[in-house]
Amino acid sequence: MAGTVKDEILHDHNHDGIDRRGFLKCMAWAGTGALCVMSGGVLKSYSLSRLPGLSPKEAMGELSFVQISDSHMGFNKPANPDVAGTLKAAVDKINALSAAPEFMLHTGDISHLSKPEEFDTVDQILKSAKPKDVFYVPGEHDVLNDDGKQFLERYGKGSKGGGWYSFDKKGAHFIGLVNVMNLKAGGLGTLGHEQLEWLEDDVKQLKHSTPIVVFAHIPLWSVYPEWGWGTEDSAQALAYLKKFGSVTVLNGHIHQIMQKVEGNVTFHTAASTAFPQPQPGKADSPGPMKVPAEQLKSVLGITDVNYVQGQHALAVVDSTLA
Amino acid sequence: MRKSVSIAVLTMALVLGMGTIAVSQRNFLAGAQQKAETTEVKIDNFSFGPGTVTVPVGTTVTWTNRDDIPHTVVSTDGAFKSKVLDTDEKFSFTFSKAGTFPYFCSIHPKMTGKVIVQ
């Protein structure tokens, strides 16, 4: 399925939303964009070109929030010499959405070098966004030199351990996880024993029908381990979420839009607001990808998520900044 | 240990000896202690090059980050640890003991390297 872009793709697996054997892949590469609506065991994907034809009921829900990622404030190399400008463009995009999002998720790499002034600049730019609440998880660039102390002081109020936490919005349960701390030589992202224990406990009392939204910086699925694009112990975390009918996992880190559906879990990575990175294995390294200046905004973006209560439906829409 | 040191001294003697034949051995040994060896490791495309360097005791290894993305140089067993290195920034460490020192980038842990000190 990778790279397939059709106007409409219909997957129907076990009819119960909890497909144990089925293994489905639906990938939307940078620049294509997709809207995915999950309802029961059926996942419908539309390319962005179909959006104008969708009814508001199909495209919107009762809870709307937006994900931004990888602002990398402080980055100033040729791949994007103006990351403040593109973050402002992302805010403009958010403010122009027809259904105003209630809050924002930032899935990490807020800063490029963990400098106080980098965080300050992002905070200042995000103040002009209509949604006032922002929920953060750190990227590896946010916890440099101080094991995340500054990040926790700024954004970690009320969080546990290394910064993980959960909250509820309109019947959906949101879980922010941290997988960029204590990384081991040769390894991938890591959640760690303490956080996994907390997660098991956090979801124990929830009804199986509760929609779950997990957000973390490094993908919680194995995108490309050769470049470190995965999390060592994510399988354990996902095992605790198996009982739920609707699980949406939102990540950043890889600076491109990618999606995979596996049973009842939809994995989604957001575009960066700063610079693109190459597709897995398509370059010597995952370093910043230089595209012609006039194309830059078409490979940066935001992700708008809509949830329809009672229907297990969750729609993920990626928009570029172009 | 003694053997490896004498090999290192001999190697230096051969290298330096070409240009300074007239230097007496006594003076040469004093000079070797003052003028330490240096070795460069470049960070390019999310990898350390060369990935393994073998150096005599007393060598200073200098890492230079030539990527557009910051990296670190962190010893797996805690022997040394750089601050984050932005583009073109350097980190140096002098190896005063023999041994094998594996290290990695704590931001991108897939990046690993090794210093073998003899």
ipTM of the complex: 0.79
B112 contacts on A by Cβ (under 8 Å):
185-186
A158 CB-near residues (< 8 Å, 6+ apart):
A165
Both B31 and B52 in a single domain?
A: no
Pick among B107, B111, B112, B114 to test the A interface (most A CBs inside 10 A): B107
Q: Are residues B55 and B81 in the same domain?
A: yes
Instruction: Indicate the number of domains in chain B.
Output: 2
The model carries a pTM of 0.80
Interface contact flag, B109 A186, Cβ < 8 Å: yes
Quote the minimal CA–CA distance from B53 to chain A in Å: 18
* Chain A residues closer than 8 Å to B86 by CB: 113
A interface with B, Cβ–Cβ < 8 A, is: 77-79, 112-114, 140-141, 144-145, 183-188, 226-228, 284-288
Do B48 and B21 share a domain, yes or no? Answer: no
Which of B77, B110, B115 should be substituted to probe chain A, the one whose Cβ sees the most A Cβ atoms within 10 Å?
Answer: B110
Q: How would you classify the pairing of strands A8-12 and A42-47?
A: antiparallel
Nearest to B69 among A78, A185, A288 (CB): A288
Contact list in A for residue B109 (CB cut-off 8 A) is: 183-188, 228
CA–CA gap between residue A237 and residue A223 (Å, rounded) = 16
List, in sequence order, every residue forming a beta bridge with A267; answer none if it has no partner: A249, A260
Q: Which of A116, A130, A137 is nearest to A69 (CA)?
A: A137
Residue with tokens 């729609």: A315
The stretches in chain A having pLDDT less than 70 are 1-61, 308-314
pLDDT value of residue A261? 87
- pLDDT value of position A309: 59
How many C-beta atoms surround the C-beta of residue A189 within 10 A? 26
Domain boundaries, chain A: 8-320
pLDDT reported for residue B23:
41
A145 contacts on B by Cβ (under 8 Å): 83-84
Task: Encode pLDDT of A150-209 as tens digits.
Answer: 999 999 988 988 899 999 998 889 999 999 999 999 999 999 999 999 999 999 999 998
Domain of B52, CATH number, reads 2.60.40.420
- Counting one residue from chain A and one from chain B, the pairs whose CB atoms sit within 8 A come to 56
Bridge partners, A256 (sequence order): none
Packing angle of the helix pair A116-126, A83-95 (nearest 10 deg): 30
Select A8-320's CATH number: 3.40.50.300, 3.60.21.10, 3.10.20.520, 3.10.20.340: 3.60.21.10
Structure confidence at residue A312 (pLDDT): 55
Q: What is the C-alpha to C-alpha distance for residues A144 and A142, in angstroms, rounded to an integer?
A: 6
Same structural domain, B9 and B31: yes
Whether residues B21 and B44 share a domain: the answer is no
B56 and B74, same domain (yes or no): yes
Q: Quick one: CA torsion of B49, B51, B55, B59, rounded to 10 degrees?
A: 60
Q: Residue B13 sits in which domain range?
A: 1-35
Tell me how far apart the terminal alpha carbons of chain B are, to the nearest angstrom: 8
Closest approach of chain B CAs to the CA of A274, in angstroms? 13
* Spans of chain B, pLDDT less than 50: 1-3, 5, 9-32, 34
Give the residue from A302, A279, A310 showing the smallest Cα distance to A65.
Answer: A302
Asked if B10 and B57 sit in the same domain, the reply is no
The residue among A4, A60, A124, A106 whose CA lies nearest residue A316 is: A60
Whether residue A46 contacts residue A6, with contact meaning beta carbons closer than 8 Å, is answered with no
B29 with B50, same domain?
no
Q: How far apart are CA A271 and CA A293, in angstroms?
A: 17
Question: Is A226 in Cβ contact with B106 (below 8 Å)?
Answer: no
Do the Cβ atoms of A285 and B47 come within 8 Å?
A: yes
Cis amide linkage into residue A280, ω under 30° from 0: no
Distance CA(A182)–CA(A185), nearest Å, equals: 10
- List of E strands, A31-158: 34-39, 42-47, 63-68, 103-106, 133-136
Output the six-digit token pair for A286.
């995952």
What is the C-alpha to C-alpha distance for residues A250 and A219, in angstroms, rounded to an integer? Answer: 8
- Smallest Cα–Cα separation from A286: which of A258, A256, A251? A256
Spatial contact of A227 and A286, defined as CB atoms under 8 Å apart: yes
Q: Are residues B75 and B88 in the same domain?
A: yes
Residue A61's pLDDT is what? 54
**Residue-wise pLDDT tens digits, A81-112:** 999 999 999 999 999 888 788 999 999 999 99
Q: Are residues B26 and B71 in the same domain?
A: no
B45, B65, B67, B69: best mutation site toward chain A, by most A Cβ within 10 Å?
A: B69
Nearest-Cα distance to chain A for B46, in Å, is 6
The answer to whether A284 contacts B112, with C-beta atoms less than 8 Å apart, is no
Radius of gyration, alpha carbons of chain A: 18
